[in-house]
Amino acid sequence: MTITTTHYLVLAAIVFCIGLAGVSIRKNALVMFMSIELMLNAANLTFVAYSQALDDIAGQVVVFFILVVAAGEVAVGLALMVAIFRRKNKTSPDEISNMAEIVRIDDSEVTNVS
């Protein structure tokens, strides 16, 4: 029983789709961030699996760039969460829809909603 590239790719596909489900189901922005990390990790695993399969080092280099982007994303995203929570006391993206409301006000010509 040998483990082929296909095994890793199937595993990565499954984890990616679990992350996708998490982003769309959960209401807590922090858990949504974690689901995005799951998806990024699945992509990383695919890169490393292909790096091994095609005997090419570029796949492992790309993993580092994805890591850097993920770290930056977490830093900025969590800072945003802290700033939003400080103002609104809420962490669910469903409840933070100021920008959407502004568009709706313009459409229906209601001057003051809040």
Our finding on whether 105 is near another protein (CB under 8 A) is no
> Phi-psi bin for 56: left (phi > 0), alpha (psi -120 to 50), beta?
beta
Our finding on whether 33 is near another protein (CB under 8 A) is yes
Nearer to another protein by Cβ, of 64 and 110: the residue is 64
Rounded to the nearest whole angstrom, what is the least distance from the CB of residue 107 to another protein in the complex? Answer: 18
Angstrom distance (rounded) from CA 101 to CA 114: 10
Nearer to another protein by Cβ, of 14 and 110: the residue is 14
Nearer to another protein by Cβ, of 60 and 104: the residue is 60
Our finding on whether 82 is near another protein (CB under 8 A) is yes
Angstrom distance (rounded) from CA 57 to CA 14: 25
Short-list 54, 72, 51, CA closest to 63: 51
